[in-house]
Structure 1
Amino acid sequence: MDYDVAVIGAGIAGASIAARLADKARVLLVEMETSPGYHTTGRSAALFTELYGNATIRELTGRGRTFFELPPSPFNGPLLSPRGCLYSVKPKQVGQAEDLADVAKARDVEMMRLSPTEIAAKVTPLRQDAVAFGLFEPGSMDIDVDALHGGFLRAANRSGVALSVGRLPKIQRATAGWKLALGDERLYCRILVDAAGAWADAVARDCGVRAKGIVPHRRTVALVDALPAVSQAAMASWPAVIDIAEEFYFKPESGKLLCSPADETPSDACDAAPEELDLAIAIDRMQSLLDFPVRRIASSWAGLRSFTPDKTPVVGFDPRVDDFFWFAGQGGYGIQTAPALSDLGARLLLGEKLDLGERALASTMAPDRLGKKTAA
């Protein structure tokens, strides 16, 4: 069977670009696990905020807002729900707060400065002596990750994308294009898209392509029981709370409280699992801000967030292997950037015309910016 494009990885990156390509190319989507999105996408607790990440990430997020607010068919129902995001600021963090306020102003994002008393009105167990003030972003939203990922998979399926799951592909260079072996099945594609997340560099090396220094980092999450004194309805109204230095965050989730130490521990590509020390750090940091005794950790997990050296995705044709297309390194921003990044990535791959702003944005993610910094 011959394809125009084979996409390796069916998490949010691979599913989204496959769906975008499907109307104009014959596409194969390959997932090595038994279900798409098993590793990182399925373990994400995503927020929509235009203040998260570097300038490239913020621009991609902003460009995707209309998609999130008015999702097309076959996305089922709304992708966003109201949450709000509160950045807690300690006295020594005032400079970081000023920087964030400048970003909000530049992007025309509503931001409100709240006193400790005003924060406590929103998050009742707050230790008011632990914060100098807070910055509140009322327009921040929870993202329904399952609905977003599932919508892209349905869109891909409706447009004829072939999906292979649970089979490790063996990839070989052809005279023009690539040969793929999936079990007993032998396939060919003209262009290979590396959307393999934590395994992106490994896939590249197997294909004889120079790696880009994409390193997986473990992120730990705990889900703890609610306080008896706080009703689930009251807690559900709390905003997400992020330390301005991103040393921890917490937010309501399914009647419980989700918390994380915002760890970024370098890791091998693997089926990540939480470590007891990271769980303890998550709870300790949360309790530095909240009077919130933890009776029980209901569940915990870890996921991998894979970053390039400059924490900017790598998107585009490899400068040395012109039928190998990078679509990786989204880090912890893959969910919020998926609509805009997949659209831009697909158009780059297809050679479609980009406007000046799109070309400038694409240049910040070009693979050749990393080519001289990493070894094969």
Structure 2
Amino acid sequence: MKTYDIVIVGGGMAGASLGAHLAADASVLIVEMEPLPGYHATGRSVAFWEETYGGPAVQPLTTASGPLLASPEFDFHDRSFLSPRRTLHVGRAGDEALRDAFLSRFAGRVVLDPVDPAPLVPGLRPDWTIGVMEASCRDIDVAALHQAYLRRFAANGGDIWLNARFGSAQPDAGRWRIRTSQGVVQCGLLVNAAGAWADDVAIHSGVAPIGIAPLRRTVVQLSVPAMPSADLPLIMDLRAGFYFKPEGPGRVWLTPHDEAPSPPCDAAPEELAVAQAVARFEEVVDWPVERIEHRWAGLRSFAPDRAPVYGADPAQPGFFWFAGQGGFGIQTAPAAALLGQALITGSPLPPAIAGLPVHLYRPDRFR
């Protein structure tokens, strides 16, 4: 039976990013239940970096990740993971209070400018009169980022087991004895980066769950030949009823911003959510939809207070939570990985994340 310093359950963006940093100074194994890492939430992201997305608790992680994504310190990637986008937050007449609350929530944190949305979005229907521009928003090349982390993990000597479903973990003489569908392994520290399965991993390790709940998010890809331009901003509803963004000429990625409770699973879209998405899109712009080209769903996993959970379990210090990222795990990955590394190794926070409100993310807030 092989022994590692650290075993990480989950090979999506969370597990890959943290593993890439830890493997330089420790023996690390990633246990991934799918044939390919990143199959679930990572592979289904409508990828953008937006500082206000996720609220004030997530914003410091996102803001700190921006420079790391723009000028990545990866040995295996020589360009930025970001490309220009912008976000236009829109509302109807009567949404002035929502706009003002939004501006107030991020005052002094994020540059936000009230604007007239009509000139910025040709075809915007006339009842959408309120706009807030968040010019810092960028698209993220998720696949390139994930692969860069996996390459760094491998180059640092990390191992990964694919098709290795986590079964259970038991403390054994100061270590963990972990059973998987690919065999048994021992380690000193068990890292729970299992996304929608995070509470299940805790339960099967004898650790109290936190209440991390998977919520299904539906996305559709529309063919919209009349869309004026592929470089329009991401359009986000101030009432959180939808967002959409161009994905190349004549193509839009759209979600009704749904959050349907779901068990951990290979999520699939429901027809009602798809219909709601298209109906809401047609209420915003007058671009005729030619067809729905593709539809998919992913699970966004939230702790009860909707902030991420990073840190050692207070009742079982050998069990490290790295979960509950919601829909924001891609845009916060660089800062979160540095934070996880510092917490695990006992090192000071590096300058790139020195100002993070670490207390907001500790798992003992639930105990």
Task: Report the TM-score when normalising by structure 1.
Answer: 0.92
> 1:368: which partner in 2?
364
- Is the contact between residue 344 and residue 358 of structure 1 (CA under 8 Å) also seen in structure 2? no
Seen in structure 2, the aligned counterparts of structure 1 residues 127 and 166 have a Cα distance that, compared at 3 Å, is same
How many Å separate the matches in 2 of 1:76 and 1:149?
14
> 2:81: which partner in 1?
79
> 1:121: which partner in 2?
119
- CA drift at 1:114: 2.0
Q: Deviations over 1:219-267 (max 9, x none)?
A: 000101023x44xxx4201110000121101100133111110001111
How many Å separate the matches in 2 of 1:239 and 1:55?
22
> What is the CA RMSD across the aligned residues, in angstroms?
1.7
> 1:374: which partner in 2?
none
How many Å separate the matches in 1 of 2:123 and 2:142?
28
Name the aligned partner's letter for residue 34 of structure 1: P
> 1:93: which partner in 2?
95
Match 2:242 to one of 245, 248, 251 = 248
Please, which moves more after superposition, 341-350 or 46-55?
46-55
Matches within 5 A, 1:347-366: 347-354=342-349, 358=354, 361-366=357-362
> 1:54: which partner in 2?
55
Seen in structure 2, the aligned counterparts of structure 1 residues 113 and 359 have a Cα distance that, compared at 3 Å, is closer
How many Å separate the matches in 2 of 1:184 and 1:206?
17
- SS class of match (2:361): coil
- SS class of match (1:189): strand
- CA drift at 1:360: 6.5
Seen in structure 2, the aligned counterparts of structure 1 residues 67 and 355 have a Cα distance that, compared at 3 Å, is closer
- Is the contact between residue 75 and residue 150 of structure 1 (CA under 8 Å) also seen in structure 2? no
- CA drift at 1:355: 8.2
> 1:237: which partner in 2?
231
How many Å separate the matches in 1 of 2:320 and 2:217?
27
> 2:32: which partner in 1?
31
Q: Give the gaps of 5 or more residues in structure 2.
A: none
How many Å separate the matches in 2 of 1:112 and 1:282?
27
Count of residues in Structure 1 that have an aligned counterpart in Structure 2:
362
- CA drift at 1:90: 1.4
- CA drift at 1:99: 2.0
- SS class of match (2:287): coil
- CA drift at 1:295: 2.2
Match 2:263 to one of 268, 271, 274 = 268
How many Å separate the matches in 2 of 1:50 and 1:124?
25
Q: Deviations over 1:178-234 (max 9, x none)?
A: 11234464321000000000000000000010000000000000101023x44xxx4
Match 1:277 to one of 234, 250, 272 = 272
> 1:310: which partner in 2?
305
Instruction: Find out whether 1:134 has 2:131 as its counterpart.
Output: yes
- SS class of match (2:330): helix
Matches within 5 A, 1:67-216: 67-72=68-73, 73-107=75-109, 109-115=110-116, 119-128=117-126, 130-173=127-170, 174-183=172-181, 185-216=183-214
Please, which moves more after superposition, 175-184 or 132-141?
175-184
How many Å separate the matches in 2 of 1:184 and 1:294?
47
How many Å separate the matches in 1 of 2:288 and 2:60?
39
Match 1:325 to one of 320, 343, 358 = 320
How many Å separate the matches in 2 of 1:287 and 1:76?
40
Name the aligned partner's letter for residue 94 of structure 1: E
Seen in structure 2, the aligned counterparts of structure 1 residues 285 and 28 have a Cα distance that, compared at 3 Å, is same
Please, which moves more after superposition, 20-29 or 297-306?
20-29
- CA drift at 1:24: 1.6
- CA drift at 1:358: 4.9
How many Å separate the matches in 2 of 1:189 and 1:179?
7
Relative to its length, the structure with more helix (as a share) is 1
Name the aligned partner's letter for residue 85 of structure 2: R
- SS class of match (2:98): helix
How many Å separate the matches in 2 of 1:320 and 1:215?
21
Identity of aligned residues (%): 41
- CA drift at 1:347: 0.8
- CA drift at 1:143: 0.8
> 1:343: which partner in 2?
338
Instruction: Find out whether 1:11 has 2:8 as its counterpart.
Output: no
Please, which moves more after superposition, 77-86 or 98-107?
98-107
- CA drift at 1:363: 1.1
- SS class of match (1:64): helix
Task: Report the TM-score when normalising by structure 2.
Answer: 0.94
How many Å separate the matches in 1 of 2:27 and 2:168?
18
